[in-house]
A = this chain, B = another copy of it.
């Protein structure tokens, strides 16, 4: 079940891997093992092994090194863990061998096992908790466990959770127009949209986030954020707060179709900062990282004037991501504290309109909805997800009391490539653990 022949979807996912756009093949993971790539070794590294701000994203396999060294490429802001003790992450029996041998039928119709799944989807590190205890923790191919790893769009779920908590506390009104918090968007496509519509990505804007299209708006976003280098004579905007107000209204109406667009989360981050008068780094630190007793500082990536990428730029270690996910599974409790209100988690897991979701064309996620920046499966177990392009994952199954987190550096910037495998793997794991 090596994942080699997957048709490349053109669905709306943040992607910049245009170098790969013309091949329908997923590169053989055995040819791109992190521990054999020799990237950034030596002083200085050989010219063809240098990973830079200019080549980390488009020149595969550079992202395999870059995704756990993002602060070495871009400006970043610390999300401090504070000075408190590190919380205990309870250990259960090590079930590594048993889990890796777990066999299931993949979306290609062939039988493989969990180890194949991890390898074939370019997992960098994977942790599984069951009934509140770690039963699987692996750093694949030499990925250093102390390095924060970029989460890409899993970041959105953090921003959405913070927004939902602010709503719960009465600091943010979901029914208010976006422009109440960000008047700069008065002449943009977000005019007339509510905060809730941004949370659910049903605000309608003229923005395409299409794979492999050099004219795609997503490239303009990436240059505004500093995620991709802009040519010196680039005439467009070079900060997020300059860029977002120029995005125009869409052809439809707000509040109808779900269409996945990262710029909605950048607007949400702007709203959250304005409503709380805190940076995202402060909020994540004060409300999550410090009470969770995180082991390591996390960090956020920044644009040229210090605005955090609120839809893409959070970097955390594997165990700290597990603490966060386990807290959610446990109705907001962890480390002896109520960290997030249970009502906040209930709001998210209730999901949103599944018909609105169908408009997105994400046939590989049947029955899902998208609520407050989380992917809700509406399956019998009530499982839900945070997903990052290139395969980063939070999976929470409340029924089987299971949490799975993974860090990943898949060559394709498309959940359509990895998610069908992940759904099968999570289903097999649930059946095994239930």
Contact = CB atoms under 8 A, between A and B. Distances in A.
Interface string A62-78: 00000000011111111
A78 B299 CA distance: 11
Contact of A71 (B53, B76, B305): B76
Interface residues of A, number: 35
A276 to B, nearest CB: 10
A128 B297 CA distance: 28
A90 interface: no
B75 A43 contact: no
Interface in A242-270: 270
A361 interface: no
A216 interface: no
Contacts of A36: none
A80 interface: yes
A38 interface: no
Contacts of A307: 43-44
Given A232-B232, A306-B50, A146 B80 contact: yes
B71 A75 contact: yes
Copies of this protein in the assembly total 2
B305 A50 contact: yes
A83 interface: yes
A45 interface: yes
A102 interface: no
A320 interface: no
A273 to B, nearest CB: 4
Given A72-B75, A75-B71, A304-B53, A43 B297 contact: no
A306 B72 contact: yes
A302 B53 CA distance: 12
Nearest to A278: B43
Contacts of A304: 52-53
Interface string A213-236: 000000000000000000011000
A77 B52 CA distance: 13
A43 B270 contact: yes
30 contacts: A40-B306, A43-B270, A43-B274, A43-B279, A43-B307, A44-B239, A44-B241, A44-B305, A44-B306, A45-B305, A45-B306, A50-B305, A51-B306, A52-B305, A53-B75, A53-B304, A71-B71, A71-B76, A71-B77, A71-B78, A72-B77, A72-B302, A73-B75, A74-B75, A75-B75, A76-B76, A80-B146, A83-B86, A83-B295, A232-B233
Given A40-B306, A75-B75, A232-B232, 11 more contacts: A43-B307, A44-B239, A45-B305, A45-B306, A53-B304, A71-B77, A71-B78, A72-B76, A72-B306, A74-B75, A80-B146
**Closest A-B pairs by Cβ, 4 of them:** A232-B232, A43-B273, A44-B241, A50-B305
